[in-house]
Amino acid sequence: MLTSLSIQNYALIDNLQVNFNNGLSIITGETGAGKSILLGGLSLILGKRADLSSLKDTSKKCIIEAVFDVSNYNLTTLFKAEDFDYEENTIIRREILPSGKSRAFVNDSPVNLNSLQVLGERLIDIHSQHQTLQLVSNEFQFQIIDALANNDTNLQDYKSELKTYKTLQKELKELLAFQAEAIKEHDYNSFLLNELIEANLVEGELELLEEENETLSNIEEIKEKLVASHQLLNDEQIGILTTLNELKNNFQKLKNYSSKYEDLFNRVQSCVIEIDDVFREVDGMQDTLEADPGRLEEVNAKLLLINNLLQKHVATDISELISIKNDLEDKVAVTENLDATIEKKKNEISKKTTELNTISKAIHDSRKQAIPELITQLETILSSLGMQNAQFKIDLVYGDGFQTNGKDDMSFLFSANKGGQFNELKKAASGGELSRIMLAIKSILSNYIQLPTIIFDEIDSGVSGEISNKMGDIMLLMSKTMQVISITHLPQIAAKGHTHFKVYKEDVDEVTQTNLVKLNHDERIVEIAQMLGGTEMSSSAIAHAKELLN
């Protein structure tokens, strides 16, 4: 509920502070006194866009602040979704700067207007004759039925399942599109993959093959050089090993004379060991080195294959080709497994369809049961509001497609006259009738769900005293379970309020200002008497005012 409202530097308001109570609050005042200014300021709190024309003094900023007790509104989920700081006493503030820029805050945290509008819809419902157009909305009509049918849990489950269902359908559509495209590429990808598999590639293989190719291609020259090296190393007369052994023997005889000769002996002996090892290796190579034209052909063929693949796939080495092969394996596997994946997805959709049908049928059945009760309550209330012949006909058809709130199609039909034909509300009801129908609906809804604070903005215009009296009774009844604020010109309604405020204009330093004041009991008598008989109150008007208040 709205607990307080503060307005500074807005339109004709200089500085206004007002506290509201629960129950039924009445706001009265002469035409043009500024009731619409109050509603305009409140609309800014609810997320309406603002401009510089809102400022009373364009050199100062406009500040509008409202405090709401949201403890009974179950808004913690909404606050979390919109990233608001949750407080049971929530403060909403709008600031309009002289530059024309606007800022909004919820519990001192900045928020955008879209988020503020989402919250505002859950806090205040400003209801005027213009807002009765909501009545002809099919979405709002379903909300009425579902409130009486207690469909809240079913609808939450349905919307959750519907979201999953639509996600699955989207995934299936993408799979089918991918399959259609993949089939075109499958054969080519399979050919490329088989080519790489048959190549039997091994990392590092290219370098080894190139080395082997060099050896096999130059086998005669290598053998010739090895033979020459073998002779140089082991010739009995001039061989390196023979000469080194003689050198070693010389230093062996000298080593006992000085440590310097012993060091030289050790170094020469190391050379002998190393050269001897080289000799043995050369000797072994001569035995194993044979020309192999067949192997050379194999190596050349494999090198040609690898180089062709590198060029074909624009790769730099074998590891890249192996990576490409792995990617192709994944693509081919996905394509080959698509049928199974698609079938699995279809089964999931089928299962979800069954679940949605079960929930939507339960929603339909509960709506069907609630419709007669809604019609009875509506026609009873409207009869007391001077619409004795008002009749409703609500047709509910269980359809085929899944809609946002079930599978139902609904026609909400109305006839204002006895024996008249039923037609859509927007065609069959006048503006005044729509106002009374909306009042009746809000009254009924207040018994089933927690409604936000509702502000009735002169919806009693053009109705008789007796009907206005009954409208006041309905508002009073609603105020037992919710906060109701009524802006009215009718004394019969004004007298029923628990709290009464008066909007008035006054000139301060030759500047017109709008103010709002809470009336005490005596001031209410005067205000209601003036509403009954004008500014020159008669004793009968005062007596009538007291009678209405009592």
CA atoms in the 13 A half-sphere facing the CB of 338: 20
- Checking if the pLDDT of 111 tops 90, the result is yes
Mean of pLDDT over the chain: 87
More confident residue, 163 or 291: 163
User: What is the tens place of the pLDDT at every residue in 147-164?
Assistant: 999 999 999 999 999 999
User: What is the tens place of the pLDDT at every residue in 18-45?
Assistant: 999 999 999 998 887 788 888 889 999 9
DSSP 8-state code for residue 509: T
Let me know the angle formed at the C-alpha of 462 by 458 and 464, rounded to the nearest 5 degrees: 110
User: What is the tens place of the pLDDT at every residue in 44-91?
Assistant: 999 988 877 778 888 889 999 999 999 988 899 899 999 999 999 999
Taking each helix axis from N to C end, the angle separating 219-234 and 240-254, rounded to the nearest 10 degrees, works out to: 30
Confidence of residue 510 (pLDDT cuts 50, 70, 90): confident
- Checking if the pLDDT of 431 tops 80, the result is no
User: Which strand (E) or helix (H) includes residue 240?
Assistant: helix 240-254
Confidence of residue 287 (pLDDT cuts 50, 70, 90): low
pLDDT of residue 229: 77
Strand partners, 89: 69
Supply the DSSP string of 44-77, one letter for each residue.
Answer: HHTT----GGGBSSTTS-EEEEEEEE-TTS--HH
pLDDT of residue 35: 85
Which domains are delineated in the chain?
1-128+447-519 (3.40.50.300), 136-371 (no CATH)
pLDDT of residue 293: 75
The arithmetic mean of pLDDT across residues 135-146, rounded, is 89
CB count, 10 Å around CB of 72?
11
pLDDT of residue 131: 62
Nearest one of 138, 80, 30, 17 to 410, comparing CA atoms:
138
* Phi-psi sector, 23: left (phi>0), alpha (psi -120 to 50), beta: left
- With a pLDDT cut of 70, the percent of the chain lying above it is 96
- Which of 287-291, 361-365, 511-515 is predicted with the least confidence, judged by mean pLDDT? 287-291
Using CA atoms, how far apart are residues 527 and 271, in angstroms rounded to an integer? 127
The identity of residue 76, as a single letter, is T
Using CA atoms, how far apart are residues 176 and 174, in angstroms rounded to an integer? 5
- Checking if the pLDDT of 461 tops 90, the result is no
pLDDT of residue 54: 79
Which range is most confident: 86-100, 115-129, 421-435?
86-100
Burial of 163 per CB tally in 10 Å (0-12, 13-18, 19+): exposed
More confident residue, 297 or 385: 385
Structure tokens that stand for 96 in this block = 């309009």
Radius of gyration of the chain (CA): 47
pLDDT of residue 133: 67
Let me know the angle formed at the C-alpha of 73 by 71 and 78, rounded to the nearest 5 degrees: 105
Supply the DSSP string of 117-140, one letter for each residue.
Answer: HHHHHHHEEEE-TGGGGGGG-HHH
Using CA atoms, how far apart are residues 434 and 67, in angstroms rounded to an integer? 32
Secondary structure (3-state) at 280: helix
Cβ distance 413 to 426 under 8 Å? no
Which range is most confident: 101-105, 268-272, 333-337, 536-540?
101-105
Structure tokens that stand for 332 in this block = 């081919």
- Checking if the pLDDT of 374 tops 80, the result is yes
Secondary structure (3-state) at 259: helix
pLDDT of residue 132: 66
CB count, 10 Å around CB of 424?
12
The arithmetic mean of pLDDT across residues 269-287, rounded, is 81
pLDDT of residue 366: 96
User: What is the tens place of the pLDDT at every residue in 294-336?
Assistant: 777 787 788 888 888 888 888 888 888 888 888 888 777 777 6
